[in-house]
Amino acid sequence: MHGEPPLTGVRILDLSRVVAGPYCTQILSDLGADVWKIEHPDRGDDTRAWGPVMAGDQSAYFLAVNRGKRSLGVDLKSEAGAALIRDLAEHADLVVENFLPGKLESMGLGFDALRARNPRLCLLSITAFGQSGPLADEPGYDLVVQGYGGVMAVTGPTDGAPHRVGLPIVDLSAGIYAATAALAGLRAAERDGVGQRIDVSLFACHLAWLANVGSNALVSGEPTPRYGNAHANVAPYEPVEADDGWMLLAVGNDRQWGRLLGLPGFGGLAQPQWATNDGRVGDRDALIEALAPILRERSRAEWLTDFKAARVPCGPILRPDEALAHPQTAALGMVHRVQHPSAGPLSLVGSPLGFSGTPVAAVTPPPRLGEGGDGLLRDILKLDDDALAGLRSRGAIR
């Protein structure tokens, strides 16, 4: 017997745009929250225009981070539009925004103004570098924060130019941290009867997920080297080449190393200097050089079959399209087919979260600009046709 999604009844006033904020609110929408996506009345969210990959009139980028929401185009700079946001905030549990620090306050939409009639309201701000400090007024571009946060310095070949991570990893991870913070804030408001301001910055999130690389830097006090595709703390743990292409070998401990040595052809690697992980990491170059001719003797498929049988972690290197078409993806139910009113049939990646009693919400298409807005204002503010027409005549809504 399945109940409703876990956040059913939670209302979120979403003033965010581009990636980190919308990704956060998409996670909360998947969990059942009613997300009111407020957009620029003419152009909408910036990512609506981020082609070139389009599904009809919808950009693939926008479709990736905005499913399950209602859209309302509002001119926040107009007094009527700002008043409408304050009215909606009275009925919301959470506001999510990613403006520069102080911008909402300048429009009369800061935390104090929005919670004046709703003491339990939480406001989650997602910024590039936080509310204070020398970089606080800098705009929040994923690429720039990758540079500031350290990941680009350790990504890419050991020599040559640094490489950005191939996904907007800072934006996406900040969205996940923000969703976690939102859940904690909502729980505290439910417990204490009073909301609070929650701050999440892209930069701080990036520093948090430096994990072992950051800890290595703090403990050693030394500049972090670039390892290319190798691992700073484990070896062999990187792409390796068979006779017909590349695959992944991920020997995570000495037991797995012993199982690898038990396979035909690898006995010559049973050298004292490679018996422990520390030894293998310290002599990585020589180890990989010794592995290379063995691995080039057979195909990827043959090696992967043998490695898996010996319980040595390994895998192929799939393109995103191949990963999305993999049988495991289908087994997890991660790709959903939906019908979009203007783009037609669409395939969308769904939520990775699973619950035994309160499933995530059904996957529905991201909204067109303004889609669901009139229904939202009727449902929440009880506005009639005349009131909606008045707002449009004043340019407050699309």
Q: Which amino acid is at 378?
A: R
* Torsion sign (Cα): 24, 26, 28, 30: negative
Give the domain 11-209+326-393 fold. Answer: Rossmann fold (3.40.50)
303 close to 292: Cβ distance less than 8 angstroms: no
Among 194, 204, 200, smallest CA distance to 179 is for 200
- Asked if omega into 236 is within 30° of 0 (cis), the reply is yes
CATH 3.90.228.20 fits 237-319, yes or no: no
**End-to-end Cα distance, the chain:** 42
Cβ atoms of 18 and 62 within 8 Å: the answer is no
What separation in angstroms does the CA of 306 have from each of 249, 254, 341?
Answer: 12, 18, 49
List the catalytic residue out of 14, 171, 192, 285.
171
Instruction: State the Rg of the chain over Cα.
Output: 25
46 is known as an active-site residue: no
Which residue, 371, 374, 375, is CA-closest to 391? 374
> Could you tell me the residue ranges of all domains in the chain?
11-209+326-393, 237-319
The answer for residues whose C-beta is within 8 angstroms of residue 265's C-beta and 6 or more apart is: 294, 297
Query: How many other CB atoms sit within 10 Å of the CB of residue 357?
Result: 9
The pLDDT assigned to 1 comes to: 45
Look up residue 353 and give its two tokens: 């979260």
What is the DSSP track for 255-320? HHHHHHHTSTT-GGG--GGGSSHHHHHHTHHHHHHHHHHHHTTS-HHHHHHHHHHTT--EE----H
Q: Which DSSP helix (H) or strand (E) runs through 136?
A: none
Q: Is the pTM of this model over 0.75?
A: yes
**Among 176, 177, 196, CA closest to 186:** 196
Low-confidence ranges of the chain (pLDDT < 70): 1-2
